[in-house]
Structure 1
């Protein structure tokens, strides 16, 4: 089944990632949020593990194009496509981390502008609305 996912970060005018279509291994119309998160993580882990981990003989500086610099400064993260950790992602651990992060309030999930708050809540996928994941950040500082 194909679902549409948007990832956003609070305080940003534009999504960090635009809408993406993700193919998950599920065929029924109803699914729990917990099962959906596990299937999305499964798809993302498989995509990550398929990437090439070829080492370069020479460490070349990968300088981004000038038009890409604005995107880097907007997101606050400079990534040049290099993978330095050669270990494959562990599916079981990644799924546990995603569920724990949701329970701890590290991200919020919306389906058709309705916030999903319970892992056992049933979602009707036949409506084919967009899922929105918002990464929440904690404020730093003190009142002193």
Structure 2
């Protein structure tokens, strides 16, 4: 089934990732948030593990396009397409981390502008609304 996903960060006007269609291995109409998160992580891990990890014979600079550079610097992470860690992602560990991060409040999930607050909450995928993931950041400091 194909779902629409947008990733945002609080305080930013533009999404980190524009709306993307993601194909997940699920065909029923209703799904719990926990299962949805696991399926999205599975799709992302499969995509990551399918990338080529071959060492390049020649080290050359990979420069992002000018229109993409501003987006990279706004997100605080500039990458040049090189993969330095040759280790494949571990699917069960990645799924466990995603569930734990949601429980710890590291990100929020919205479906048609309605916040999904519980991992057991059921979602109707037939509505075909966009899922929005918002990365939350904590403020550092004290009151003293």
> Following the alignment from structure 2 to structure 1, what is the Cα–Cα distance between the partners of residues 96 and 66?
39
Cα distance, 1:66 vs. partner? 3.2
Aligned counterpart, 1:60 = 60
Check conservation: 2:108, 2:136, Cα contact below 8 A. Answer: yes
Aligned pairs (5 A) from 1:37-48: 37-48=37-48
Aligned counterpart, 1:18 = 18
Cα distance, 1:54 vs. partner? 1.3
> Following the alignment from structure 1 to structure 2, what is the Cα–Cα distance between the partners of residues 6 and 55?
32
- Residue deviations 1:84-124 (CA, integer Å, cap 9, x gap): 00010000000000000000000000001100000001000
CA RMSD of aligned residues (A): 1.1
Check conservation: 2:16, 2:71, Cα contact below 8 A. Answer: no
> Following the alignment from structure 1 to structure 2, what is the Cα–Cα distance between the partners of residues 67 and 121?
39
TM-score (norm 1): 0.95
Cα distance, 1:132 vs. partner? 0.3
Aligned counterpart, 1:99 = 99
Cα distance, 1:72 vs. partner? 2.3
| Bigger Cα displacement from structure 2, 11-20 vs 51-60 | 51-60
Alignment length, in residue pairs? Answer: 144
Q: What SS does structure 1 have at the residue aligned with 2:89? A: coil
- Residue deviations 1:6-25 (CA, integer Å, cap 9, x gap): 00000100000000000011
Compared CA separation, residues 112 and 65, structure 1 to 2 (3 A): closer
Cα distance, 1:57 vs. partner? 1.8
